[in-house]
């Protein structure tokens, strides 16, 4: 009887999740922009760094930082 209840609850959850039609973790195509928001021009001879995290050969997220010359980095 317990296994039947677990099976029924699992089936209800699967049907409910299938109806959501969500795309978790995927940005909508119309929000992509090539603009830099809140950025600053890099100083000459500075060491700006960028990083990108790719998932399935697509950009998932990224960050930028700049070496401060004092053993640390500032990130934006």
pLDDT digits (tens, 9 = 90+) for 25-38: 555 555 556 677 77
Q: What is the pLDDT of residue 26?
A: 59
Question: CB 66: neighbour CB atoms within 10 A?
Answer: 16
What's the token pair of residue 62?
């990224």
**How far apart are the C-alpha atoms of 67 and 69, rounded to whole Å?**
6
The pTM for the full model equals 0.28
- The C-alpha angle with vertex 28 and arms to 25 and 31, in degrees rounded to 5, equals 120
* Domain residue limits, the chain: 45-76
- Residue 48 CB neighbour total at 10 angstroms: 13
Helix (H) or strand (E) holding 54: strand 48-55
Pick out the chain residues at pLDDT < 70.
1, 7-34, 42, 46-48, 65-76
């Amino acid at each position: 009887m317990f296994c039947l209840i677990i099976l029924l609850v699992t089936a209800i959850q699967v049907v409910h999740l299938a109806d959501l039609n969500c795309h978790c973790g995927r940005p909508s195509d119309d929000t992509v922009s090539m603009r830099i928001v809140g950025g600053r021009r890099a100083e000459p001879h500075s060491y700006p760094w960028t990083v990108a995290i790719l998932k399935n050969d697509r950009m998932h997220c990224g960050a930028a930082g700049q070496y401060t010359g004092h053993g640390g980095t500032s990130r934006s």
